[in-house]
Chains A and B, each alone.
Chain A
Amino acid sequence: NAGVTQTPKFRILKIGQSMTLQCTQDMNHNYMYWYRQDPGMGLKLIYYSVGAGITDKGEVPNGYNVSRSTTEDFPLRLELAAPSQTSVYFCASSPREKLFFGSGTQLSVL
């Protein structure tokens, strides 16, 4: 059972670079989410999706973009990386209530 798979696990970016964080789930969940967690803090929602083709902004969407072309995949795009985007990023999916999390991506922007 793969569950929610995130890649990469670690990444260092230079200011201004772009990258895509990949997230895929094999549980056929409709809901998918991207969160960021800054050191010593709780999670903040970046974007979420309630199904293929439908995405919406969360609490902290600036500097990010998402797409949901399939039920399984929900990639997060950083276009112009900034030091403020240094964080741990979690992807999650849910059938309704309980969230299933990926193992996270540690991103540093230097």
Chain B
Amino acid sequence: AQKITQTQPGMFVQEKEAVTLDCTYDTSDPSYGLFWYKQPSSGEMIFLIYQGSYDQQNATEGRYSLNFQKARKSANLVISASQLGDSAMYFCAMRVRSNYQLIWGAGTKLIIKP
């Protein structure tokens, strides 16, 4: 069965500290993609980062990086030097080749403390 698991329902982090948001996935398809989206309190879904299963290097986008450990089936999001504006819900999602759907995790609510 294809599944995404985010085990941290909520996190509090001090401003300027690094943050790691956990995501584990399950699929038997060798070709898949992993996404992270941010949803601030305003409600829109903002794309952060993407990692393909065949990508050799971990994806990075500015302060965001994806710690992709294929053997462990994990795709953790790392935010460096957190800012107050990073407070939001963060969703991990997976897309497999055989299925056009994105499978979503339940999300992690991140709160950055000043």
Enumerate chain A interface residues (CB-CB to B < 8 A): 31, 33, 40-45, 48, 50, 56, 58-59, 88, 90, 92, 97-101, 103-104
Contacts and interface: CB of A to CB of B under 8 A. Distances in A.
B44 A103 contact: yes
A41 B91 CA distance: 10
Main secondary structure of the interface of A (DSSP, over half): strand
A34 B6 CA distance: 22
Interface string B52-84: 100000000000000000000000000000000
Interface of B: 33, 35, 43-45, 47, 50, 52, 91, 93, 95, 100-102, 104-107
Contacts of A103: 43-44
B43 A88 contact: yes
Contacts, number: 47
B101 A45 contact: yes
A23 B33 CA distance: 25
Nearest to A45: B101
A100 B46 CA distance: 8
B43 A48 contact: no
